[in-house]
Structure 1
Amino acid sequence: MSDALVHRQDDDRIAVITLDSPANRNALSRRLVAELGQALAEAGADESLHGVLLRSSHPVFCSGADLKEAATVDMVESARAIVALQRTVTALPVPVVTRLDGAVRAGGLGLVASSDLVVCRDDVTFALTEVRLGLAAAVISIPLRARLHPRAASAWFLTGSAFGAGEALEHGLVTAVADEASMDVAVDAVLADLRAGARQGLVEAKRLLNRDLVTAFDRDGEEMARLSGLLFHSHVAQERMAAALRR
């Protein structure tokens, strides 16, 4: 059995890409980010595809930054890799559909916001917990600010409090919400619509929709990566992350 953290399986013109790092709840380690970026790049080069489905193999979709790793690596470089990953999702030729069956925290919201369509289970919770660690949602602010109502962004960025699927739908983070029993049907309906489209139409429609966001990644990505790294390496963040790991 492969020990890869990201797996791809194709299903009738849809590349199903699965995050599979249960040991750290799909935290955005350098390895997971690299493997996911590679899987997406390969999907982007596959002209047979009409879409990508991004999902998790276990209940948590993504727990955010890998705090253990953050204490030992250059977090500016890690932040640059996350900017590049989000840009890859946004600029991929075909639509990216993200399926959420469980919690999303911090950096994971960047993947959600970079996606084109998001189907979310009704009991999923979200939180931008960075502020409680002395950080800010820097690199993920680029897609989040493009998707969210400004008042919701202020509340979620500044308080770090959890919010649910209904609020995520209301304020533009997700596309549709379904209960556990209906998730397969809801996701399949979205994928069926993508299969029914002509690839040329899908590619050009996505390009039009995401042109401004791709430009924002290119304009602001380096600044946000440097800010993120500065905050991660600060004394207060290092203390708070160490305390969080001890809990």
Structure 2
Amino acid sequence: MTSSVALTCRGAVAEIRLARPGVHNAFDEQLIAELSDVLAQVEADAAVRAVVLTGEGASFSAGADLNWMRSMAKASEADNNADSLKLAALMRRLNYLSKPTVARVNGAAYGGGVGLVACCDIAIGVDGAKFSLSEVKLGLVPAVISPYVIAAIGARQARRLFITGEVFDAAEACRIGLLHETVAPAELDAAVERSLHWLGKGGPLAQAEAKRLALAMAGMSEAGQQIIDVDNAALIARLRVSPEGQHGLAAFLDKKAPDWARQG
């Protein structure tokens, strides 16, 4: 089985690369499990001072894999709930990782890919990247990633983007707070290195506590998040098996517009 995630350590920096470029680094059960395991590995490695998360190929992450979505569309509500809890655990692990994290956003990020960006402490993207929280187009909602996206861009922006599912560019992502910086593709690595330079100057314990402090002052804790995740996983599971969710998923997989989509 080909690995969906690649880990490379150079000095005190661990680079985690989503390694499914043929499907734009889309999520499936294997990628979720492998990324969770790699994050646990770098968390436990005292030699790792910072983590860079990026994608192979043209995209950062396109969100859910089509085959995975097809299988979930046929699954029971209980199975969908269990599946959603795994994704929730992945996002929670990344968000509360004690090591500083940098999202190297090399291309498009959709759905869960936006969630990964929002869970990182620093997010730097190429100026041609596109973003979307497109779940409503399928009759679904971005339930599992919602706490992290709202923490990044605020409730006001989230309300707009959650209900429109519109595509927005890197400049807009930077303006609303999803990205901290946008650069030309040729400058992406240099920009990431600048952040790593500054991260290397901080005490590792102090950085872990500073991250925990910032989250706590924003009302976020890992224990509290786990409780929220249970409700959000149940919500997405319920919507996936609902008539609207089933129709939206089927229409998307068949490359058709759902009945509710207005033409114009």
Q: Which consecutive unaligned segments of at least 5 residues does structure 2 have?
A: 73-78, 256-264
Match of 2:86 among 61, 81, 87: 81
Deviation at 1:69, TM superposition (A): 1.7
1:57 equivalent in alignment to 2:65: no
Please report the TM-score for the alignment, with normalisation by the length of structure 1: 0.94
- Give the match for residue 235 of structure 1: 243
Residue identity over aligned pairs, in percent, reads 34
- Give the match for residue 7 of structure 2: 8
Q: Which consecutive unaligned segments of at least 5 residues does structure 1 have?
A: none
- Matched residue of 2:52: which SS? strand
- Give the match for residue 72 of structure 1: 71
Matched residues in 2 for 1:79 and 1:43: separation? 23
RMSD (CA atoms):
1.5
- Give the match for residue 41 of structure 1: 40
Give the AA of the match of 2:169.
G
Cα deviation, 1:178-212, whole Å, max 9, x if unaligned, reads: 11121111011011111222212221111212233
Matched residues in 2 for 1:243 and 1:22: separation? 25
Match of 2:96 among 86, 91, 94: 91
Deviation at 1:242, TM superposition (A): 2.4
Deviation at 1:59, TM superposition (A): 1.2
Larger radius of gyration: 2
Deviates more, 1:99-108 or 1:213-222: 213-222
Matched residues in 2 for 1:244 and 1:191: separation? 40
1:226 equivalent in alignment to 2:234: yes
Matched residues in 1 for 2:252 and 2:23: separation? 14
Preserved contact between residue 153 and residue 178 of structure 2 (Cα < 8 Å):
yes
Cα deviation, 1:36-71, whole Å, max 9, x if unaligned, reads: 000000000011111100001111111112242233
Deviates more, 1:208-217 or 1:87-96: 208-217
Preserved contact between residue 4 and residue 34 of structure 2 (Cα < 8 Å):
yes
Matched residues in 2 for 1:81 and 1:108: separation? 15
Matched residues in 1 for 2:28 and 2:205: separation? 34
- Matched residue of 2:200: which SS? helix
Deviation at 1:227, TM superposition (A): 0.3
Preserved contact between residue 147 and residue 172 of structure 1 (Cα < 8 Å):
yes
Matched pairs, number: 246
1:214 equivalent in alignment to 2:221: yes
Please report the TM-score for the alignment, with normalisation by the length of structure 2: 0.88
